[in-house]
Structure 1
Amino acid sequence: MRKILAAALLLALAGCGSSGSGDSSGKKTVTMWMYPVIDDQAKSKAFWTKVEKDFEAKNPTIDVKVDLQPWEGRQEKVTTSLASKKGFDIVLLGPDQIPQYAKQGTISPVDDVVAPDKAAFRPGALTALTTDGKLFGVPIYQTVTAPIFNKKAFAEAGITKLPETYDELKADAPKLAAKKIAILMYPGGPETTLNLSFYPILWSNGGSVFAPDGKSVAFNGPEGVQSLQYLLDLKAAGGLPENAATLDKTEGGPMEQGKAGILNAAANIDAVKLGAAIGAENVAVGLPFKGAKQVTFGIPGGLLLAKHAENAENADAAKKFMQYIASAPVATDLAKESGYFPARADAQVDEASPTLKEFAKSLEYAYPGDAHPAARQVMALLVPEIQAALQGKKTAKQALDDAAKAANAVVSGGG
């Protein structure tokens, strides 16, 4: 089955653009795979079309193509493209995806791309995109997540002070449940990364996905069991939607329907959409919930350079395009259109967004996740076990121990 899937992906790449050193006109060609950083498809297309045209106007000997890709299937398609040396020269990825490709030797360091403006970038963004002392991603934006609240739901439940800790959240759950409102919109479906669901709770309890030496997983330790049991206790108290195990973080869900009070690891765009659905006056943005630690998920988006592009004649052209996208003017425009933050201090933040100002307060708590070459593989093994626990099929410990057994086989290279 895996061989069939790999073959299908290779065929699909033929229709997704191909990297190359030049064309019949003598121009150097550069292909970049970009993802829906700008949530609105029409705005995304318009933005990247303008980026292409503006760059080519300044660099007439370079032909660039921004190939807009969906989030779905990203990991498999990127892995296949890098292995086949086709599809793209540049690709957008997050910090936890870099170690895998760095270890495989399919991406190239980009320290020289950032070097001219290195002092302008957020230090945390550069650190997050660095593996084994080498920078593998050029930061073009910075995300941060924070809890968003349906204030009206809390008011109707007689709660005047919004919870600030996980303990307070749990204590308030029965009050909202009495109004048939789940206090926490937990997106347990496989479409939502664990970085936006289970991991923030794990981190807040002082836990981690991997052991310090990276040779095994640690999510099934006491902190992990405590974190999953917390979710099970919330569900038992009516604090999670009934379908939390399969729920996706999509528009029109329980938050917009007024059936959930909190989305824990939300982005600014989530706050904007919620405001449009229930009224901006009913939306509040909080700081990350306090547990043993106060932490939330937040990453820089990084442009990676394929190793085969580094070795091709168009390497300089590709790096020039990466520098252009990461420049202060483009970073400012991208931040405004995406609702994220620029990854450099000399770019401007959209002051017109009141919710974005609130999200900025959580930047100091942002954590890019547990980087490891097997991070995404481990996540794929953990998701169904957490779902099984939420569906009452396994205890918290059983679910995490079963996931750990399968994950350790992958981490150790045995599976």
Structure 2
Amino acid sequence: MKKKLFSSGISMVMVMSMLLSGCGSDSSSGGDSAAKTDTNTSTKTTAKEGADISGKITFLTNRTDMIGKEYDDYLKRFHEKYPNIEVELEPSQTDYNQQAKVRMASQELPDVMFIPTIPNSDLPKYFAPLDDLGLNDRITFKDFKVADGKVYGITSGNSTSGIVYNKKAFADAGITAVPKTWDEFLAACEKLKQKGIVPLASNFKDKWPLNNWVYDLPRLIENNPSFPNDKLNTDTPFTMDNGYGKAMSLLRELNEKGYLEKDINSTNWEQSKKDIASGKFGMYFLGNWVINQVIGAGTTSDNVGFFPLPYDNSGTPSAALSPDFFYAVAKDSENVDAAKAFVKWMLEDSGYEDFAGFIPPLKDKESKLPQLKEFQSGGAKLQEGTVDDPVVTDISNKAQLDLPAVAQEFVLAPDPQKVLDKWNAAWAKARKEVKH
């Protein structure tokens, strides 16, 4: 590898006998056909057991905060069972998606990585099928990273978006019950503000923390999981009265009322976790994955709560269920067997989903996170997203459409309608140029 790596200093191996049995029992249409198609390859990659598998692999990870900490425990436990696979951890830079694309363009892929935003049709160019792991009947969002009937990516965990809050901050501000309507939410924000607590940490400057406002919330407002793909059918996907305009207007309203950070152009992600933990800030609107990070930043689990964002006044909001990063194995890896073994172990045995605060990626595992029980007690329906239409992705790329950046413009613009007009024009032009 040409990149600087962080080595675990540990060699590891995984028993692979379960992989063979898993192929035989896979009854899913895509996975079953893929397993049968790749019988010869599957025999070579899964018949080996224990110490028969060896090799050195690299894992490009976005969780740089776990290097030297939790990952050490994972690798130690992996090593206790399987001594002959050496795993090196490569930390990503701030923008994982961009770094991964650069690596793909240079044909210098790590053995194990997360799939960046590319069309599913491109998956076979870079990655090996994972149907022979024997997990196809157990994985959630199975169809999200599929090409030609084969699974190329498996989600590392799932999230629902909602309000993560400091219970003591709520109590100090006199908030006795979690808000169930938008008006109640605004009232709670005002109470926090009057108490000297920043109501909602947006991390506006970093852009990516705005994802839920532009990817999850619009489809919830529209009560349509396919709403993001409906852009394919119009030259004006962004209007003030549809899901996009309404979602960004809610964020704009919070900013105008002084319920976000005082200077939203100089926010700090790592500091915000400490500020939520200490009660200096009251809330996040993020996925459940951030809960354990807040706890780790200096508070206790029983001081952190989680409830659905009440984006309207109906009293019965829905919440989005979405996958996080998808594990993948580079097809040109010199140690595909070892890389697949590591992916399977991470999914089944590492416990990463509990540490990360995820809803488990395997359907037969239950979350240990108490905050998810609180969230579900509110009765919110979980709306599962749909696979991105590749043509919509092509048009978005052609238009250089970056929805979190659009939200930044919208919130700060003197006239937000002009922002929508600008991006409608870009979309219409790209839509005309992309054949579909």
TM-score normalised by the shorter chain: which range applies? 0.7 to 0.9
Residue by residue, what CA displacement relative to the aligned partner does 1:191-231 show, whole Å, maximum 9, x if unpaired? Answer: 52432444333233217444353786834462222222222
Q: Which residue of 1 aligns with 2:349?
A: 329
Secondary structure of 1:264's counterpart equals strand
Does residue 296 in structure 1 map to residue 320 in structure 2? yes
In the TM superposition, what are the counterparts of 1:4-15 in structure 2 within 5 Å? 14-15=2-3
Structure 1 residue 46: Cα displacement: 0.2
Q: How many residue pairs were aligned?
A: 374
Aligned to 1:92: 114
2:61 to 10, 34, 53: 34
Indicate the larger mover: 160-169 or 132-141. Answer: 132-141
Superposed CA deviations along residues 67-105 of structure 1, whole A, max 9, x for unmatched, are 232351322221122222213132123xxx454363375
Aligned AA for 2:382? Y
Tell me the TM-score normalized by structure 1.
0.73
- 1:53 counterpart = 2:84: no
Q: Larger deviation: 272-281 or 203-212?
A: 272-281
Distance in 1 separating the partners of 2:156 and 2:380: 16
* Counterpart mapping for 1:250-265 below 5 A: 250-252=270-272, 254-256=275-277, 258-265=279-286
CA deviation digits over 1:276-301, x for unaligned, max 9?
A: 64665543221343548512353144
Tell me, in whole angstroms, the C-alpha distance in 2 between the residues paired with 1:30 and 1:298: 29
Partner of 2:361: 343
After superposition, residues 392-411 of structure 1 pair within 5 angstroms as: 393-406=413-426
Shift of 1:343: 1.4
Residue 389 of structure 1 corresponds to: 410
Structure 2 residue 246 is matched with structure 1 residue 226:
yes
- Select 1:273's aligned residue among 294, 304, 311: 294
Give the C-alpha shift of residue 137 in structure 1.
0.6
| Structure 1 residue ranges without an equivalent (≥5) | 1-12, 18-25
State the AA in 2 paired with 1:211. Answer: D
Equivalences for residues 373-388 of structure 1 within 5 A: 374=393, 381-388=402-409
Write the distance in 1 (CA, Å) between the matches of 2:267 and 2:60: 28
Task: Label 1:104 to 1:249 Cα distance change in 2 as closer, same or farther (>3 A).
Answer: same
CA contact (8 A) 1:298 1:368 kept: yes
- Report whether the alignment pairs 1:176 with 2:176: no
Alpha-carbon deviations, 1:337-396, whole Å to 9, x = none?
33333311344643xx533544576996264577355488578633344323333x3322
Superposition RMSD in Å: 3.9
Once residues 203 and 147 of structure 1 are traced to their aligned partners in structure 2, the CA distance between those partners, rounded to angstroms, is 17
Identify if the C-alpha distance between structure 1 residues 68 and 144 changes in structure 2 by more than 3 Å, giving closer, same or farther: farther
Change (3 A) 1:281 1:14: closer
The Cα of 1:269 is off from its aligned counterpart by 4.2
Report the alpha carbon displacement of residue 162 of structure 1 after superposing the two structures with TM: 1.8
> 1: distance between equivalents of 2:240 and 2:272?
36
Would you say the 8 A contact 1:148–1:271 is kept in 2? no
State the 1:258 CA deviation.
3.2
Q: CA deviation at 1:163?
A: 0.7
In structure 1, how many angstroms separate the alpha carbons of the residues matched to 2:175 and 2:246?
A: 26
Q: Highest relative contact order (Cα 8 Å, sep 6+), 1 or 2? A: 1
For structure 1, which segment, 374-383 or 205-214, has the greater mean C-alpha deviation from structure 2 after superposition? Answer: 374-383
Percent identical pairs in the alignment equals 19
In the alignment, which residue of structure 2 is the partner of 1:318?
339
The residue number in structure 2 matching 1:3 is none
1:365 aligns with 2:382: yes
1:144-185 per-position Cα deviation (integer Å, ceiling 9, x unaligned): 333122334434444322212334213443343333434332
Secondary structure at 2:261 match in 1: coil
Corresponding residue to 2:138 among 96, 117, 120: 120
Amino acid corresponding to residue 117 of structure 1 in structure 2: L
- The answer to whether the aligner puts 1:107 opposite 2:134 as a matched pair is no
Q: Which amino acid aligns with 1:88?
A: P
Match of 1:82 in 2: 104
**2:353 partner SS:** helix
Change (3 A) 1:344 1:214: farther
SS at match of 2:137: helix
In 1, Cα distance between the equivalents of 2:402 and 2:293? 33
SS of residue matched to 1:342: coil
Query: Is the 2:97–2:117 Cα contact (8 Å) retained in structure 1?
Result: no
| Matched position secondary structure for 1:120 | coil
Looking at structure 1, the residues matched to 88 and 381 of structure 2 have their Cα atoms a distance apart, in angstroms, of: 32
Counterpart-to-counterpart distance in 2, 1:202 and 1:83: 32
